[in-house]
Structure formats: C-alpha cells, structure tokens
C-alpha cells in the first residue's frame, strides 16, 4: 500500500522500499517562471485529489560539466520549474524523529537534491531520522542580484537561491511532523556551495529559527559578495544578455538558453585564480544585511551547534580541469601565487618568499613539497581550510558547541593525483562507497566501508543530540581557539590538536 501524507497544499502518495517511505518531487514553491523569474519564491498552489510523488521533479537549469558527472545533474530533465524536495522517512507517524535537511553543492552552478550520490535511504534507516534533499535555483537564475541594477519590480530580486532554501526550510517547519519528523530538531547539512549556503543562512535573520544545528562540509561563511560587487556583476550579465528592458515581463520572457549563454559569458569575463566563483550570495537589504562571518562574530548565531570540516587535499579535484597542474614548475607556482596573493590580504610577502614559506609549512606536517603539492595545499587552505577555521573559531567564541574534523582518507589507486580531494567525503556520508558511481574513487577498499560507517554514525549522533561522538570514535573534544581539537577521518580515526596549523598561521599573518 502506498504511504500517503496530507501536506499543507494537498495530499501526496509516495513509495516504500525496505521499510523506508520515499516521497520525491514534492513542490515547496510555485514555479519561478516568466514574471516570477529572478523573484523570491512564492507558496505553491494547492491541489485536489492525491498527487503522486514517486519521481524527483525537474532539476534546476544548468550547464553540463562532464568531469563532475557524479555531482552534475545537467543530463537530467531541466526546468525553471525546479523547486521540489524529496523526503525519506522510517514512518509517516508521530515519531518526532530528528530531521536532516541536505543542501547540495556544485559551485552555485550545478547539482540537484535528486543527484544519485544524495540517496537518503541508508541514512534514514540507520539513523532513524527523516532525511530531506532539495533543489534551489542556480547560476544567473539564482545568483544574479537585480535589486540595484533594475529598480522597480525587483526590490527583493536578490539571493533567489538562498530564498529558495529558506522556503524549503519553511515547508519542513510546517509539514515535516506529518512525515514522522520533529520540526524543532532540524539539522541543516551541506557540502561545498551547500555549506557556503549554510554560512549565508547563519548571517540571515530570516533563516534563524528554521534549523537547530548545522553541518558544513568544505564550506564556511565567506562566499558572499558586497552589494557593490553584486551590482557590477548584474550589469555585466545584463550587457551579455543584450541589454533588454529591465522589467519583470521582459526579463521573464527571454529564452532560458540565452540566459545560460549570458551566464557563461559573465563567468568567463570575471572568473580568475583569485576569484573562483562569480555567481554567489550577496549582501542586500533584508536577507543578508551584513557579511555572515560578522554576524557570527557578533554572536547572532550563538545557539546553533556546529559540525564543520574539510578534506585534506580539497584542491586536487580541480586538477581534472587544469591539465598543467601535475607538472607545475617552480616558476609557474610563483606566477600563480603572484595572481592570487593580493586576494589573501594586505600583508602578503613577495611571491617567491610566499612559495618558500608555504613549502616549509607543508613540509612541517610531513606533506610532499613539489610545486604541484604546494600549490594544491595553498589553494586548499585559502579556499577551504582557513575559512572553515575562522567560522569554527568565531562560532565557538560565541559559546556554541563546535566540533571540527579533517577528512584524510585517500583512494588507493589515486593517492597522489586526487588524494583526499574535494567532494570525496560525499559517498562516505551517504553510505554509498560501494556504489558504481563512487567505486572509481573508493575501489573495493574495506577501509572505505569502515570509515563510512563511522562518519555516518557521527552525523547521525550530531543530528540526534548535538554531539558527533560515538563508541567507534575516540573521545571528541569541542573546538576552541586554543587547542583546535579536530577529528581525523582516515583509515584510522584519531583526535588531533591544531592540524595544518603552520599553514593556518601563515594565512592569518598575511590576511
């Protein structure tokens, strides 16, 4: 018999598999099409009868990125009508189970909540909790901010993708109890751009109260444009779009392939080694009134326990699109540092000195010191490790419980080329290390399966209690700015104080 639930907009039916009830393709907002393009999400239209929710809804409009096929949903059915979510639950009862809401990554350009690597059945079953994945608008449709560039009719046309996430969280608040979940015990979890979205939500007054805890995997609270920069990007996008009339009807009638073409041209004009992502959240009047890290430092999020971490070799994933990276020469390393160092801060040394100092810092932790390894370590720290440490330290200083981790497991066949790269932790969290899509990275290593179980249980424990420790891990001390206790997730798990600290101190002294 199909499980059914009465939601706030109408009755839905799902499916069941091995004791887990699945509901896929539930609309949480009206299709943001035509005059609603670029605008904040609107509540969905109610329906009569029983709506079948057994297949995911269309994925957000996005370009295809073949080298990220395990994350990219570009080959699936795309539509601007994409604001859907999916629910896995052990029972449509009054179980008051913890709820884990997953925000996918993809650089704010690609991905979907229905991507196969985010299959929530095992987490739901193992953790006796409700798992929710969601779509949100991507690229120009989600992160071109038109309030200042277009004026009347676009007063709140900012951060559409973040507003979508808030609308999905509001749907969870209003409906998840009917799926056996506890609306007062929601853990928001995301990776990469998903974690950066959570960082933005920590700085949003409209997001507060919609989640109790947060898990940030390879993302923090620094990827937000100033309002001035957001307007500059919007003007360039509108130029690439052909300078159309700036009213909702006109902008809503432009074919979406032209929007994608203008998005691509805007990215090509503005992307650099120093500025990797162009279309990201922005400061605005009401949703994100100040840089999120400032809100955290001020104590606005003091009541939110945080689990945050990174992978050791984050940047090595991107060697797939940088063909010269594995054979980088010392001169090329210095040239790259010359391009990037001005974005680090006002106290950076000359590029040659920076290369020498960073190599020494990498050597001090036993890392390899070729130009390729030093550049990868530097970018991993600049983009991921250092921002994560700043968010962890700021949130801990507010009095919140903070737990830090570092993922160091390396695939046996790709230890040097990819290492513990960005996004490698995803199949470990969802229990899919044996899935064909992940096996190219994890192989048949028994250590991968064992680590996956330990990491899953840590995420489950955190969602239940706010403490990620359990009997298969060493005692996990909270993070503070002195000891910087960090769980090392590797072939064996251990607790370490201040890992990568020489590199963190260098970046802090240059900032």
Sequential DSSP letters for 156-188:
T-S-HHHHHHHHHHHHHHHHGGGGTEEEEEEEE
Residue 97 domain flag: yes
Element (H, E) at 488: strand 485-489
The answer to pTM > 0.75 is: yes
pLDDT value at position 336?
96
Active-site residue, from 114, 124, 192, 452: 192
Q: Are 81 and 177 within one domain?
A: yes
Active site residue 145: no
Domain boundary among 247, 271, 304: 304
Distance of alpha carbon 8 from alpha carbon 180, whole angstroms? 15
Contact 321, 273 (CB under 8 A): no
CATH code of 347's domain:
3.40.50.1820
SS3 percent helix, strand, coil of the chain, rounded to 5, is: 40, 15, 45
DSSP string, 12-59: EE-EEETTEEEEEEEE-S----GGGTTSPP-PPPP-SSEEE-BS--PB
pLDDT value at position 412?
82
- Give Cα separations from 484 to 1, 160, 392 (angstroms): 51, 35, 9
Residue 65 domain flag: yes
Residues of the chain with pLDDT under 70: 66-75, 413, 415, 437, 440, 443-444
Active site residue 314: yes
Q: What are the residue ranges of helices labelled H in 246-365?
A: 248-253, 256-270, 292-297, 330-344, 351-364
Residue 478 domain flag: yes
Residue 4 domain flag: no
Q: Are 297 and 375 within one domain?
A: no
pLDDT value at position 65?
72
Active-site residue, from 240, 314, 393, 503: 314
pLDDT value at position 74?
57
Distance of alpha carbon 129 from alpha carbon 119, whole angstroms? 14
Active-site residue, from 104, 145, 225, 422: 422
Question: Would you give the DSSP letter of residue 263?
Answer: H
Q: Are 192 and 147 within one domain?
A: yes
Contacts of 366 (CB under 8 A, 6+ apart): none
Q: Are 52 and 179 within one domain?
A: yes
Q: Are 343 and 271 within one domain?
A: no
Q: Are 293 and 329 within one domain?
A: no
The model's pLDDT over 135-160, given as tens digits with 9 standing for 90+, comes to: 999 999 999 999 999 999 999 999 99
pLDDT value at position 427?
95
The model's pLDDT over 238-272, given as tens digits with 9 standing for 90+, comes to: 999 999 999 999 999 999 999 999 999 999 999 99
Residue 10 domain flag: no
Residue 317 domain flag: no
Sole residue written with tokens 């890290």 = 293
Q: Are 289 and 189 within one domain?
A: yes
Range of the domain at 137: 17-304
pLDDT value at position 73?
65
Handedness of CA 186, 189, 194, 197 (dihedral sign): positive
Residue 46 domain flag: yes
pLDDT value at position 508?
97
- Give Cα separations from 11 to 44, 151, 355, 461, 481 (angstroms): 13, 39, 61, 32, 49
Q: Are 141 and 29 within one domain?
A: yes
3-state secondary structure (DSSP) of residue 129: coil
Q: Are 86 and 234 within one domain?
A: yes
Q: Are 162 and 85 within one domain?
A: yes
Other CB atoms within a 10 A radius of the CB of residue 285 amount to 12
Query: What's the number of domains the chain is made of?
Result: 2
Q: Are 259 and 343 within one domain?
A: no
Domain boundary among 271, 304, 337: 304
Contacts of 492 (CB under 8 A, 6+ apart): none
pLDDT value at position 217?
98
Q: Are 194 and 279 within one domain?
A: yes
Phi, psi at 405, each rounded to 5°: -140, 160
Residue 6 domain flag: no
Sole residue written with tokens 């330990």 = 454
pLDDT value at position 417?
80
């Amino acid at each position: 018999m199909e499980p059914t639930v009465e939601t706030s907009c109408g009755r839905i039916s799902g499916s069941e598999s091995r004791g887990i009830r699945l509901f896929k393709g539930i609309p949480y907002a009206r299709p943001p099409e035509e005059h609603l393009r670029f605008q904040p999400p609107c509540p969905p239209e109610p329906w009569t009868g029983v709506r079948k929710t057994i297949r995911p809804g269309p994925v957000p409009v996005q370009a295809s990125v073949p080298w990220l096929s395990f994350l990219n949903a570009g080959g699936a059915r795309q539509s601007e009508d994409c604001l859907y979510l999916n629910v896995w639950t052990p029972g449509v009862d009054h179980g008051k189970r913890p709820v884990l809401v997953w925000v996918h990554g993809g650089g704010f350009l690609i991905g979907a909540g229905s991507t196969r690597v985010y299959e929530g059945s095992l987490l739901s079953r193992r953790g006796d909790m409700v798992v929710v994945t969601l779509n949100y608008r991507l690229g120009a449709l989600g992160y071109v901010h038109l309030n200042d560039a277009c004026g009347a009719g676009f007063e709140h046309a900012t951060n559409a993708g973040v507003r979508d996430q808030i609308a999905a969280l509001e749907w969870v608040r209003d409906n998840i109890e009917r799926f056996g979940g506890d609306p007062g015990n929601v853990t928001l979890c995301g990776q990469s751009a998903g974690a950066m979205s959570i960082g933005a939500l920590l700085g949003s007054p409209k997001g507060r109260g919609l989640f109790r805890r947060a898990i940030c995997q390879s993302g923090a609270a620094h990827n937000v444009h100033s309002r001035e920069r957001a307007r500059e990007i919007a003007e360039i996008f509108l130029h690439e779009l052909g300078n159309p009339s700036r009213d909702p009807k006109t902008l809503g009638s432009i074919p979406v392939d032209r929007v994608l073409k203008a998005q691509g041209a805007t990215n090509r004009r503005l992307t650099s080694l120093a500025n990797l992502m162009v279309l990201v959240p922005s400061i605005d009047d009401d949703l994100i009134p100040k840089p999120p890290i400032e809100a955290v430092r001020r104590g606005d999020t003091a009541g939110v326990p945080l689990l945050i971490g990174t992978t050791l070799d984050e940047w090595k994933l991107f060697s797939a699109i940088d063909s010269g990276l594995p054979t980088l020469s010392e001169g090329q390393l210095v040239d790259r540092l010359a391009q990037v160092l001005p974005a680090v801060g006002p106290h950076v040394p000359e590029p040659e000195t920076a290369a020498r100092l960073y190599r020494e810092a990498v050597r001090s932790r036993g890392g390899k010191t070729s130009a390729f390894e030093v550049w990868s370590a530097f970018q991993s720290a600049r983009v991921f490790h250092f921002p994560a440490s700043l968010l962890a330290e700021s949130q801990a200083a507010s009095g919140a419980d903070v737990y830090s981790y570092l993922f160091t497991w390396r695939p046996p066949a790709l230890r040097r080329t990819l290492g513990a790269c960005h996004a490698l932790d995803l199949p470990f969290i969802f229990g899919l290390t044996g899935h064909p899509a992940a096996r190219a990275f994890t192989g048949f290593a028994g250590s991968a399966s064992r680590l996956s179980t330990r990491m899953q249980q840590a995420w489950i424990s955190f969602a239940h209690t706010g403490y990620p420790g359990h009997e298969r891990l060493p005692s996990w001390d909270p993070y503070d700015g002195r000891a910087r206790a960090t769980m090392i997730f590797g072939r064996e798990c251990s607790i370490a104080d201040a890992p990568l600290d020489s590199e963190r101190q260098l970046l802090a002294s240059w900032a």
